[in-house]
Chains A and B, each alone.
Chain A
């Protein structure tokens, strides 16, 4: 469904993404892991069409994506790291606006809004202003806004930052439901336990390069021995990326 081929992007002297390639299949959640500044968000930005790579391709259903207005962008939904919502508007007005950006209107938009609000458990709060929402509710609405146009590919950039365990579990349930519906999910996170719970495959990126791309079992088998002791995704991650601070 989503194929990334040899992406390269620099910002001045900084090589943000260097020859990155991987794929995400329908019904699969791929965890994109890496230390701060590794190139995760830039990779997601390129896939979402926010940043133009100097080299490489993003293929959606086998077709290369290009340009701001490429209709293929409708197959992609972005859930940004920030709470990209208008606090002064109601949840319904936020969704109405984001839906319209993807060409939804009228009854189709109403159905889509009802569907995503129900999925994230905010149907009864749709008429309230977002500024009155808790952090967890905002996170769930952030997810709903990315799902509104029913994309086949969902890009989730650290979607659980700063939420309580209840909201996090609710988001996990939503993502598992989306997997069952056959969506292709690319999920970036710093929380290893989230990737262990959700990911079918893990891509580890460091200093702009892919340093591992495998299933959890494959990673444990391949890197686990070097990590020593009890094998976990965190020990594998630290083995692959080192222990030096990156901030």
Chain B
């Protein structure tokens, strides 16, 4: 009789789920829609090599050879979209959010940079002003790095091959005697600057006789490679977005199950179920089983769609993916039971548990990568089950890792499931005053 009752309870829950069109849409269509959207705006499938084209405004108040060279370099950079502007206009454009940052090269920036290049702390360095949109702090960091490259290239080029270099070296030699530097270091610097002057003379005579002058440039080039499941396998952002959204809506499906249990209690259905000769564990277990099936279906339908439409692939262990998916569904099912055990009324339980789900998926990295969080927040995500689910699914899909990478997330998710089940068993209200 036990198995008959158990299967009947699971069947009934599945029938109820499928009979509620809205629940089916929420469970299947919504995660697909949101996963598709987030995947497309984050990285999409194989589009990660596209340049960033960060919009910036440059203000050249110096108009020197060095500042013009920096502007030219920045304009030619594939990662920047540069417009020239006046100082007030640039500030206004940043405020309106039209550009990420505005960079102002003040008057005498080139001369100041040349002097500082040879004499370091002995002279005051010129100030390059960066006005930035605080909501795009990450991009500003990238702009700073890109501009540093162009400033260093332009300054060194001008100093070692342009008209200004010899003049700055002469100035540095003249001021060397009066500087407070220790004598031995002063002697070494004098030798270097004398060598630089000789370099200029030789370069000039080489030019006169058809030789070429030297130009400083970045002493390295960069070869970037996405570390994914294999060489030449591009990162597919949809894999992560569908994992995140799949988990979010799987938790929502489980939450709905918990709310339905509270509604059943209110409607007197729970009394009828309890009057049957079935154990309390079977009542809870059957509900957990049906919710696990629904949650798993939610996740698999989402990933199925992503595989067909966005070419998401399980690049790693298929068994590992299945382990994480099942463990994740079990965790969600017991979370639903927890809602039913701790909730007093459907209304209050819905509000509190919706908040709990949203916090869980946010901290789990389903919305934004966890590295954007402060360190202390990153530390506490180990107690967030959604984080293990996202990690496990990422590992077995786009990271292409083997079965071993799925073991720890699976165990963590099962541990959460056991914890939720234990709390449910101890806190479930079986008897109530009529």
Residues of A within 8 A of B (CB): 11-12, 14, 16, 41-42, 45, 48-52, 68-71, 73-74, 76-78, 80-86, 88-89, 93, 96-98, 100-105, 129, 145-146
Interface size of B by CB at 8 A reads 28
The 0/1 profile, CB within 8 Å of A marked 1, for residues 266-293 of chain B is: 0111011111111110000000000000
Q: What are 28 inter-chain pairs, A to B, with CB distance below 8 A?
A: A11-B433, A48-B275, A49-B275, A50-B274, A52-B431, A68-B279, A71-B277, A73-B277, A80-B272, A84-B267, A84-B268, A84-B269, A86-B12, A86-B16, A88-B15, A88-B16, A88-B19, A89-B15, A93-B12, A96-B8, A98-B276, A100-B4, A100-B7, A100-B8, A101-B5, A102-B276, A104-B4, A105-B4
Q: Is B1 an interface residue (CB 8 A)?
A: yes
Report chain B residues within 8 Å CB of A93: 12, 15
**Residue contact A83 to B275, C-beta cutoff 8 Å:** no
**Residue contact A102 to B277, C-beta cutoff 8 Å:** yes
Nearest to A86 among chain B residues (CB) is B16
Nearest to A81 among chain B residues (CB) is B268
**Residue contact A16 to B277, C-beta cutoff 8 Å:** no
CA–CA, A83 and B276, complex, Å: 17
**Residue contact A78 to B5, C-beta cutoff 8 Å:** no
**Residue contact A82 to B277, C-beta cutoff 8 Å:** no
Report chain B residues within 8 Å CB of A86: 12, 16, 269
CA–CA, A97 and B268, complex, Å: 16
CA–CA, A135 and B12, complex, Å: 23
Q: Is B50 an interface residue (CB 8 A)?
A: no
The 0/1 profile, CB within 8 Å of A marked 1, for residues 17-53 of chain B is: 0011000000000000000000000000000000000
Nearest to B278 among chain A residues (CB) is A101
Which of A45, A52, A68: most chain B Cβ within 10 A?
A68
CA–CA, A182 and B11, complex, Å: 34
The 0/1 profile, CB within 8 Å of A marked 1, for residues 245-281 of chain B is: 0000000000000000000000111011111111110
Q: A50-B275, A80-B272 are contacts. A16–B433 as well, Cβ < 8 Å?
A: yes
Q: A16-B433, A51-B431 are contacts. A103–B271 as well, Cβ < 8 Å?
A: no
CA–CA, A11 and B433, complex, Å: 6
Nearest to B20 among chain A residues (CB) is A88
Q: A11-B433, A42-B434 are contacts. A48–B271 as well, Cβ < 8 Å?
A: yes
Nearest to A99 among chain B residues (CB) is B8
**Residue contact A73 to B275, C-beta cutoff 8 Å:** yes
CA–CA, A83 and B274, complex, Å: 15
Main SS of chain B's interface residues?
helix
Residues of B within 8 A of A (CB): 1, 4-5, 7-9, 11-12, 15-16, 19-20, 267-269, 271-280, 431, 433-434
Q: A80-B268, A89-B12 are contacts. A69–B277 as well, Cβ < 8 Å?
A: yes
**Residue contact B280 to A14, C-beta cutoff 8 Å:** no
Nearest to B1 among chain A residues (CB) is A103
Known A84-B271, A93-B15, A103-B4; 7 more pairs at CB < 8 Å: A14-B433, A73-B275, A76-B275, A78-B271, A84-B267, A100-B7, A101-B9
**Residue contact A50 to B8, C-beta cutoff 8 Å:** no
Cβ distance B96 to chain A, nearest Cβ, rounded Å: 52
**Residue contact B8 to A83, C-beta cutoff 8 Å:** no
**Residue contact A50 to B5, C-beta cutoff 8 Å:** no
Which of A48, A77, A81, A97 meets B8, CB within 8 Å?
Answer: A97
CA–CA, A179 and B212, complex, Å: 117
Report chain B residues within 8 Å CB of A50: 271, 274-275, 431
CA–CA, A50 and B275, complex, Å: 6
Report chain B residues within 8 Å CB of A85: 269
Report chain A residues within 8 Å CB of B434: 16, 41-42, 45
CA–CA, A146 and B278, complex, Å: 16
Nearest to A37 among chain B residues (CB) is B434
**Residue contact B12 to A69, C-beta cutoff 8 Å:** no
Cβ distance B225 to chain A, nearest Cβ, rounded Å: 54
Which of A48, A49, A70, A103 meets B5, CB within 8 Å?
Answer: A103
Report chain A residues within 8 Å CB of B276: 73, 98, 101-102
**Residue contact B279 to A69, C-beta cutoff 8 Å:** yes
Cβ distance A165 to chain B, nearest Cβ, rounded Å: 24
Nearest to B277 among chain A residues (CB) is A73
Cβ distance B293 to chain A, nearest Cβ, rounded Å: 16
Report chain B residues within 8 Å CB of A83: 267-268
**Residue contact B12 to A68, C-beta cutoff 8 Å:** no
Report chain A residues within 8 Å CB of B1: 102-103
The 5 A-B residue pairs whose C-beta atoms are closest, nearest first, are A82-B268, A100-B8, A103-B1, A101-B276, A11-B433
CA–CA, A239 and B9, complex, Å: 47
**Residue contact A68 to B277, C-beta cutoff 8 Å:** yes
Nearest to B268 among chain A residues (CB) is A82
CA–CA, A96 and B278, complex, Å: 16
CA–CA, A45 and B209, complex, Å: 111
Which of A12, A74, A102, A129: most chain B Cβ within 10 A?
A102
Cβ distance B15 to chain A, nearest Cβ, rounded Å: 6
